C-alpha cells in the first residue's frame, strides 16, 4: 500500500481547505518537492489536531488505572473479601517474569483477592512497571561514585539498587580505555550480593596447597587470554592458579559436607559455607597433555573449544570444569585484590550459575537449547538457515554460554557487558548471544560455510549488544523467559 504522504494520495487526505489555508503552487512548475512537503505537513497537522498524541493517551490511561486502583484499595480496606480457594485458571496462569538472585524481590500484592480478580490484575500491571516505581529520586540525583561512598539515601536499599541498575544501563560505569575502573568491582560485589570475606579465610585456602583439581587447573591457566596484552600485563598466571585452586578446595569441602558429619569440617570450610548456602560441584574434563606448538596455544587463547564439554559422567565428581579459568579472568582484572575477585567469582558460580558447574554441566546445555529456541522466535529464517547447515547452538555457542561471553575479545567490552549482566541477571547472556547472531545476520546468510564464521564470534560491541538484547526481550513469551531465568540454577 502506498504511503499516505505520497503524491497520489495526499490530495484525498487533505480534503477541502479554507481560503486562508489554501496551498500555493511552488514558484517553479518543475519542482514538486516543496509541494509534497507542504501537503505532508498539513496532513500530519490535521491528523494530530483530530486526535490526542500517543503520550497524551498513555498519560490519560495511566491516570485512569491509578484512579481505579486507589478506589479499589479504599473499598477493600472498608470491605475486605473472604479468601477464596485457588482456581484451576490461576494455577495454569503464565508465570511472571522472574529476576536473578542479584535482583530485588518483586513487590508483594497489596490485596488478598485471588489472582483472577481485577485487583490483582491491576497489581500485576503495576508490578510490570516496578523498574520505574521502585526508583529512589534521591539516589537518582546522586552520582554512582557518591551513591557507593555514602550508601542508599534514607536507608532505601531497594530504590538505590534500582537507581544503580538504571545508571549502569543508561550511563555505564566510568572507566578508561583499558576498562579499568576503581568502582567496578564494588558495583559487581553489590549487585551479586556477595558477602564479606576475611582475607585470612582466603589465605587459609591458599596455604592448604594443591587441590585434587590442581593438575587440571595448571593445564588450563597458561592459555587463559594468552594473546590479550591488557590481561597479561595486569594478571599473572600465579594469581589465576591460586584463585581457581582455592575455589576447587571449597567445592571439594562442600561435597564432603554432604557425605560426612558437618562437625568434622574445618573452620575455613565453616566460614565459607556461611557465605554460600548452595555450593555447586562439577565433573572435570581431562585435557590430556597440553598443546605443544605455539600455534595451537594461540588458537585456544581467546576462544574456548568444546573439547571435553560433552564427557561421560564418572562416578567420582570433580571440582574443576573447563571454562572456569576464563570466567575468573575478568574478576581478577577488575578487582583490586585476589580476595575480592575470589568472593565475586564464588558468588557467581554458587548462587547465580550453579548449574554450569554441577553434574554434566546441565545448566550450560539448557542454555544452549534456549539459544536455539530464542533464535527461532526472534529470527526464524536465520534459525532455519543455521539448522540446514547442521549448526545448532551446541556447536558454536558453547564457549559463549559457559563463560558469559568472556571468551570473545576485547576485554574492556567484556567488562561493560558484564556490568549489564550483573545489574539485570546473568541469565540475559542467552539473549546477548542471540543478539550477536542477529548483528551479523547478513554475513551468516551470505556465507557458504557459516561454521567458519561462527568458529570465533566477531569482537564484542557491548553497547550495541545491550540495545539489541533489549529489543529481543520484548519478543520473548513469558514462559520462555521464565526458562531463561531458571536455566542456570
pLDDT in tens, the chain (489 residues): 444 444 444 444 444 444 444 555 555 554 555 444 444 444 434 443 444 444 445 555 555 555 554 555 554 455 554 444 443 333 333 334 444 443 433 333 333 333 333 343 333 334 334 444 567 788 888 899 999 899 999 888 999 999 999 999 999 999 999 999 999 999 999 999 999 888 999 999 999 999 999 999 999 999 999 889 999 999 999 999 999 999 999 999 888 887 775 444 444 444 444 433 333 322 223 322 233 333 333 333 333 322 333 232 232 333 588 889 999 999 999 999 999 999 999 999 999 999 999 878 999 999 999 999 999 999 999 999 999 999 999 999 999 999 999 999 999 999 999 999 999 999 999 999 999 999 999 999 998 889 989 988 999 999 999 999 999 999 999 999 999 999 998
| Residue 251 grid coordinates | 567445592
Residues 322 and 228 in one domain: yes
Return d(Cα 329, Cα 321) in angstroms, integer: 15
Return d(Cα 32, Cα 47) in angstroms, integer: 23
The region that residue 192 occupies, defined by phi over 0 for left and psi between -120 and 50 for alpha, beta otherwise, is alpha
pLDDT at 68: 55
- DSSP class of 194: P
Is 10 within a domain? Answer: no
Return d(Cα 125, Cα 69) in angstroms, integer: 11
Residues 351 and 251 in one domain: yes
Return d(Cα 40, Cα 20) in angstroms, integer: 18
User: Which stretch of DSSP H or E encloses residue 272?
Assistant: helix 267-275
Residues 213 and 324 in one domain: yes
State whether residue 282 is helix, strand or coil: strand
Cis check: omega of the bond before 410, within 30 degrees of 0: yes
Residues 348 and 408 in one domain: no
pLDDT at 295: 36
Residues 208 and 318 in one domain: yes
Return d(Cα 143, Cα 138) in angstroms, integer: 10
* Domain end point (choices 339, 356, 373): 356
Return d(Cα 378, Cα 372) in angstroms, integer: 10
Is 273 within a domain? Answer: yes
Is 65 within a domain? Answer: no
Instruction: Give the predicted TM-score (pTM) of the model.
Output: 0.65
Residues 352 and 284 in one domain: yes
- By the 8 A CB rule, do 400 and 437 touch? no
Is 399 within a domain? Answer: yes
- By the 8 A CB rule, do 245 and 217 touch? yes
| Residue 80 grid coordinates | 475486605
Where helices occur in 403-489 by DSSP H, the ranges are: 411-424, 429-439, 441-446, 450-454, 462-473, 478-486
Residues 350 and 377 in one domain: no
What does the radius of gyration of the chain's CA atoms come to, in whole angstroms?
28
* Nearest in space to 209 (alpha carbons), one of 246, 170, 264, 168: 246
pLDDT at 444: 95
State whether residue 359 is helix, strand or coil: coil
- DSSP class of 361: T
CB atoms under 10 Å from CB of 196, counted, come to 7
Is 300 within a domain? Answer: yes
Overall number of domains in the chain? 3
* Domain end point (choices 148, 167, 191): 191
For residue 150, the enclosing domain spans: 137-191
- By the 8 A CB rule, do 363 and 485 touch? no
DSSP string, 95-133: PPPP--TTSPPPPPPSS-S-TTSHHHHHHHHHHHTHHHH
Return d(Cα 239, Cα 435) in angstroms, integer: 33
Residues 333 and 262 in one domain: yes
Return d(Cα 482, Cα 427) in angstroms, integer: 10
Sign of torsion, CA 37 38 40 45? positive
The region that residue 253 occupies, defined by phi over 0 for left and psi between -120 and 50 for alpha, beta otherwise, is alpha
Residues 466 and 380 in one domain: yes
| Residue 86 grid coordinates | 485457588
CA distance readout (Å), 282 to 119, 204, 208, 285? 46, 23, 21, 10
Amino acid at each position: 500500500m502506498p504511503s499516505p504522504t505520497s503524491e497520489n494520495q495526499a490530495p484525498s487526505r487533505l480534503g477541502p481547505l479554507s481560503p486562508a489555508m489554501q496551498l500555493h503552487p511552488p514558484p517553479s512548475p518543475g519542482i514538486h518537492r516543496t509541494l509534497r512537503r507542504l501537503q505532508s505537513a498539513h496532513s500530519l497537522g490535521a491528523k494530530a489536531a483530530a486526535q490526542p498524541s500517543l503520550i497524551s493517551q498513555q498519560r490519560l490511561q495511566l491516570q485512569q488505572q491509578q484512579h481505579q486502583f486507589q478506589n479499589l484499595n479504599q473499598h477493600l480496606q472498608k470491605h475486605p473479601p473472604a479468601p477464596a480457594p485457588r482456581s484451576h485458571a490461576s494455577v495454569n496462569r503464565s508465570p511472571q517474569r522472574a529476576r536473578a538472585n542479584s535482583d530485588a524481590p518483586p513487590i508483594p500484592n497489596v490485596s488478598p483477592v485471588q489472582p483472577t480478580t481485577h485487583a490483582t490484575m491491576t497489581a500485576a500491571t503495576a508490578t510490570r512497571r516496578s523498574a520505574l516505581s521502585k526508583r529512589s529520586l534521591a539516589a537518582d540525583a546522586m552520582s554512582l561514585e557518591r551513591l557507593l561512598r555514602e550508601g542508599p539515601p534514607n536507608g532505601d536499599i531497594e530504590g538505590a539498587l534500582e537507581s544503580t541498575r538504571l545508571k549502569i544501563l543508561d550511563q555505564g560505569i566510568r572507566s578508561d580505555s583499558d576498562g579499568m575502573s576503581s568502582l567496578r568491582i564494588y558495583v559487581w560485589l553489590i549487585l551479586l550480593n556477595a558477602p564479606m570475606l576475611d582475607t585470612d579465610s582466603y589465605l587459609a585456602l591458599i596455604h592448604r596447597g594443591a587441590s585434587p583439581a590442581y593438575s587440571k587447573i595448571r593445564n588450563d591457566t597458561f592459555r587463559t587470554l594468552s594473546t590479550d596484552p591488557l590481561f597479561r600485563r595486569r594478571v599473572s598466571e600465579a594469581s589465576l592458579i591460586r584463585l581457581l585452586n582455592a575455589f576447587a578446595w571449597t567445592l571439594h569441602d562442600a561435597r564432603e559436607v554432604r557425605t560426612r558429619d558437618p562437625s568434622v569440617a574445618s573452620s575455613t570450610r565453616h566460614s565459607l559455607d556461611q557465605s554460600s548456602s548452595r555450593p555447586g560441584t562439577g565433573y572435570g574434563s581431562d585435557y590430556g597433555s597440553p598443546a605443544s606448538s605455539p600455534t595451537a596455544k594461540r588458537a585456544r587463547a581467546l576462544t574456548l573449544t568444546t573439547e571435553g564439554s560433552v564427557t561421560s559422567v564418572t562416578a567420582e565428581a570433580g571440582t574443576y570444569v573447563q571454562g572456569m579459568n576464563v570466567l575468573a579472568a575478568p574478576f581478577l582484572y577488575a578487582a583490586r585484590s585476589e580476595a575480592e575477585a575470589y568472593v565475586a567469582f564464588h558468588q557467581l558460580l554458587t548462587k547465580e550459575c550453579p548449574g554450569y558447574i554441577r553434574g554434566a554441566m546441565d545448566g550450560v546445555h539448557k542454555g544452549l537449547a534456549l539459544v536455539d529456541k530464542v533464535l527461532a522466535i526472534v529470527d526464524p529464517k536465520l534459525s532455519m538457515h543455521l539448522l540446514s547447515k547442521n549448526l545448532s547452538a551446541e556447536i558454536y555457542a558453547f564457549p559463549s554460554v559457559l563463560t558469559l561471553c568472556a571468551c570473545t575479545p576485547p576485554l574492556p567490552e567484556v567488562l561493560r557487558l558484564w556490568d549489564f549482566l550483573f545489574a539485570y541477571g546473568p541469565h540475559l547472556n542467552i539473549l546477548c548471544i542471540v543478539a550477536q547472531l542477529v548483528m551479523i545476520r547478513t554475513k551468516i546468510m551470505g556465507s557458504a560455510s557459516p561454521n567458519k564464521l561462527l568458529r570465533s564470534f566477531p569482537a564484542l560491541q557491548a553497547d550495541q549488544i545491550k540495545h539489541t538484547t533489549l529489543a529481543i526481550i520484548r519478543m520473548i513469551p513469558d514462559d520462555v523467559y521464565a526458562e531463561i531465568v531458571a536455566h542456570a540454577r
